[in-house]
Chain A
Amino acid sequence: MRHLRAALARIAGFFTGHGADDDLREELQAHLDLETAENIRRGMDPDEARRQALLASGGLTVAVEAVRDQRGLPWIESVAADIRYAMRALRHSPAFTTVVVITLALGIGANTAIFSVVHGVLLKPLPHRDGDRLLYLRQSVDGPGGANVLFSVPEVRDFREGAKSLGGIAEYSPFTFTLQGVNDAVHINVGLVTGNFFAVMGLAPVLGRLTRPSDDGPGVPAVMVLTHEYWIKRFGGDSSIVGKQVRVDGKSVTVIGVVQPAPSYPDRVDVLTNMVISPHHLSALMVQNRSHRMTEMVARLAPSATMEQAMAEVAAVHARMQRDFKEAYNPGSHYRVAVIPFKEVLGERARLTLWLLMGAAAFVLIIAAANVTNLTLMRGVRREHELVVRAALGAGVRRLRRLLLVENLVLTFAGAILGVIIAMGGVGLLTSLAERYSPRANEIRLDVAALGFTLALSVAVALLLSFAASLPAEGTFAAAISAGVQRISGSLRKQRLQRGLVVAQIAVSVVLLSGAGLLTRTMIRLSDVHTGLKTEEVLTMPVPLFVLTGGFDPKADVAAKEQYDRMRREIRVLPGVIDVGVGSTMPLRSSEILFEMKAEGKPLAVGEAIPRADVRTASPEYFHAAGIPLLKGRQFYATDREGSGRVVIINQTLADKFFPGEDPLGKRIAWTGEVLKFTPFSGEWRTIVGVVGNTQDGGLDAAPRPAVFMPFAQEIAVFGGMVIRADSNVAGLVAAATRVVRRIAPTTPIENVLTVAQIKDQSVAPRRLNAALIALFGILAVIIAAVGIAGVLTFSVSTRTNEIGIRMSLGANSGMVQRMILREGGVLLVIGLVLGVVGAFFAGGVIRGLLFGVAPHDPITLIGVAVMMAAIGIGACWIPALRAARIDPAITMRAA
């Protein structure tokens, strides 16, 4: 009580103390007057009386100070004084302050920006209720395209019944539909979901309601839930949308609600609907056939169940399925199911890249902090005289330490503020990078967590800086002062620390540079990859007229083919066009359909995975228009049509797979597998009439996939689009070609019209950004490190001026002095380079997954980086070496 009261009084005194000083002075004056009067009364003469009174007082100023300390909060007051003092001191050395603040700002800024991305994309809890209990199940098989083969409805049913540790399992099937507006039509990405989807995911509506189990099955009205993002984008956040009807693929669907913002996987979706909108999803084939896998599976861990239980149960159920339904699981394909936390799946593609960037940013901060430490150490030595004087005036070591800490805090906070400004710009750039990798990119914010991280970082750096500066132990000051010294250090310990920091800077720079080198080489290798096309003057224009979900309607198919033919003929006559082809899938794009395949007279070896190939169709002009080289046999002819013999053209990869060392022409292959029954494609034997070159359909860094082309006229017109080749500037044809298509098919959305050059660039661009960012960090690191080496050596020279003077007067010439300093720097450089190369060796292994066409410890990159760093390092040593060589012994000896 008494202490609380006293504390409150002191806090009050802290704020109101200034008026109290006058009061105090008057009180003391009164004391003095009373005592003087008393002295006079005792018989002293007035002057002597006053002198005695003053003597007894012990000094009025001292008393005022003492009372002030008692009145307010002397600690805060002196910290405020420290801050004022620190500001003044820093203003007096503007060069030092500027360099330190900018160095720290770059380091802190880079870390803040990248941390906010890492936090938003990887660390932040999911917006879903109990998001950490959400699981994603993934079925994979061996072979290309087998990383995620999804689940069939019967499989999902088995898991639902057999794995009780999964509290709820929802099905989710992404699809593309066309949303018809009043006067436009756009593609929308739709998630077809079971009624329990939102309950399992733990999502709440912001408007209306979400789907529920009563929305499952046939014969219910089609309902649609908008994602928050699409609601804003397409409907402007209009809340009257709930209850309205929209037209999707010609069908009427009721909008029932808007769901809270949440990331979706694998791709961003615009809306979610119940299954009834797609008759296919309710067909007996879909619901009953175990091989018809087109459903994603998300589950919620049952209360009290653990991840391990879920994994064990899922594995057991899956093993039982494979035993009971042998026909659906070819043993050679090695069917397996992984249970992955949903949050991890969302960050899967981004994780390696982001941690790489975070690591690089941390390295930059380490280098920056090392440099600033060196700068403060050197400044500290110059300030020692000042510190000794302050100590002589009564400042304790603790007080001096606090002064340093306050000064360093002022520095790092200035750096942090500037850094956050830099980060604000960087976050925008990084968000566009993250969008390529993560569905959570829109959750990236410079939020409290990121700023808290920045604050913690700044305080940590300030503490580091303050304790790196060595202060003598309490009590030794007095000795130093009485001995009349101006300097108390220049100690071995400090020099060793400085040198260690320089070595670390060089090593870290080498690691960063070699990372940048590897990524740059990856990017160059990637852009050098041959697409497989003979020319880049090709425009791809997907025009999907015909959608599979509506069931198979032969009349619509004929109409679509007529429309494609008209488009082809009309675009063909546009100026500059060399050829136009029609096909299901654009070149350099992987087909959306992949079937199992067999070749006549080629039984599979036991345990061999069933080969799978891309299903594609092409018109006779397609290969010429796309510039795909015909290696063997013939093109399709106009006579390869409905009713004539089934023919196919295969790519080189498939030819090598089935017919190694043989002529594939005239051989027969066929689609196979259970799933064929549900598709408009037949399992008849088809005769190979041609072989074409491989194209990079799965991206420039992917191995070519086996592909089969069927005549466009012989099969149904699924997907579909135009391939246009021009003599030059094919990009200039976009407007004219779009006009033609729009006239012929006014309700079909025309999106993703891209030239081959643009498709290539899409594949390279993310890597380019990676490489550019790491290179930026690397260059930053090298600059900071070079400044660091030069600074430390310069300082070393300046403290050794006397010694060098003596050496020179004893006969050393300037060349020898220069070599001496160069050797001093060279030793640091060599140690740093060796450590750096070792570090780079390990770092290369870590980023293996991001490399393409270059080994993780590519010797050329490592050597190149080491040579470059050595050159820069020697350059940085030369400046102080030259300065040392110019020392005039006469002058330095006299000055000493």
Chain B
Amino acid sequence: MAEKLDVKQGTLALMILRTLEVLGPLHGYGVARRIEETSKNRLTLNYGTLYPALLKLEQEGFVTAEWRQSENNRRAKFYSLTAAGRKQLAREAREWHRTADLIAAFLAPRREAP
């Protein structure tokens, strides 16, 4: 079984935004399931991590929330991406790629002999 990882605040926000972009409006449970599945269960999100992050995104104006009926007729709070959230996601994704490329370049095994 793969090692479990702690999720960092900044990356969690990115994951949530991306999830909402791909799947459209979604409740907290759906977001958690999707992130866990995408990470092949290497990440687990307890409520104390997930919900403050959702609230923070809401406060920053990147997501909005409203109560709706869920697929099995249970009332749940659905989060959806705002225009600002979409822009933020694009920006953060770009940043993330750039950083990842940079780190990858640094950590790449040396090919040429000195």
Contacts and interface: CB of A to CB of B under 8 A. Distances in A.
Contacts, number: 82
Size category, A interface: 20 to 34
B66 to A, nearest CB: 12
Contacts of B76: 27, 30-31, 34
Interface stretch (B15-23, B24-32, B104-112): B24-32
A63 B47 contact: yes
B74 interface: yes
Nearest to B71: A34
Interface stretch (A52-60, A301-309, A338-346): A52-60
B86 interface: no
Given A30-B70, A33-B74, A34-B70, A5 B51 contact: no
A565 interface: no
Interface in A1-57: 2, 5-6, 9-10, 13, 23-24, 26-28, 30-31, 33-35, 37-38, 56-57
A56 B74 contact: no
Interface stretch (A66-74, A417-425, A474-482, A567-575): A66-74
A896 interface: no
Interface string B34-56: 00000000001011110110011
B55 to A, nearest CB: 5
Given A31-B27, A66-B51, A67-B51, A6 B56 contact: yes
Contacts of B46: 56-59, 62-63
Interface residues of B, number: 25
Nearest to A69: B52
Given A2-B61, A5-B59, A31 B52 contact: no
Interface of B is mostly: helix
Contacts of A70: 52, 55-56, 59
A67 B48 CA distance: 7
B95 interface: no
Given A5-B61, A35-B29, A27 B77 contact: yes
Contact of A30 (B32, B49, B58, B75): B75
Interface string A783-802: 00000000000000000000
Contacts of A28: 47, 51
A759 B53 CA distance: 83
A62 B52 CA distance: 11
A5 B60 contact: yes
Q: Which of B47, B58, B59 has the most CB of A within 10 A?
A: B47
Contacts of A30: 27-29, 70, 74-77
Q: Which of A9, A23, A60 has the most CB of B within 10 A?
A: A9
Contacts of B51: 24, 27-28, 63, 66-67
Contacts of B72: 34, 37
Contacts of A27: 28, 51, 76-77
Contacts of B74: 30, 33-34, 37
Nearest to A68: B52
Interface of A is mostly: helix
B57 to A, nearest CB: 10
Nearest to B31: A31
Nearest to A12: B59
Nearest to B84: A2
A66 B52 contact: yes
Contacts of B77: 23, 27, 30
Contact of A58 (B27, B48, B60, B75): B48
A31 B59 contact: no
Given A5-B61, A6-B56, A60 B47 contact: yes
B47 A31 contact: yes
Nearest to A62: B48
Nearest to A33: B74
A59 B48 contact: yes
A628 to B, nearest CB: 92
B75 A26 contact: yes
Given A31-B32, A63-B46, A10 B27 contact: no
Contacts of B27: 30-31, 34
B18 to A, nearest CB: 18
Given A70-B52, A70-B59, 14 more contacts: A2-B60, A6-B59, A9-B59, A24-B51, A28-B47, A30-B75, A30-B77, A31-B32, A37-B74, A38-B33, A59-B46, A59-B48, A63-B51, A71-B55
24 contacts: A5-B59, A5-B61, A6-B60, A9-B58, A10-B59, A13-B59, A26-B75, A27-B77, A30-B29, A30-B74, A30-B77, A31-B29, A34-B70, A58-B48, A58-B49, A59-B47, A62-B47, A63-B46, A63-B48, A67-B52, A67-B55, A70-B52, A70-B55, A70-B59
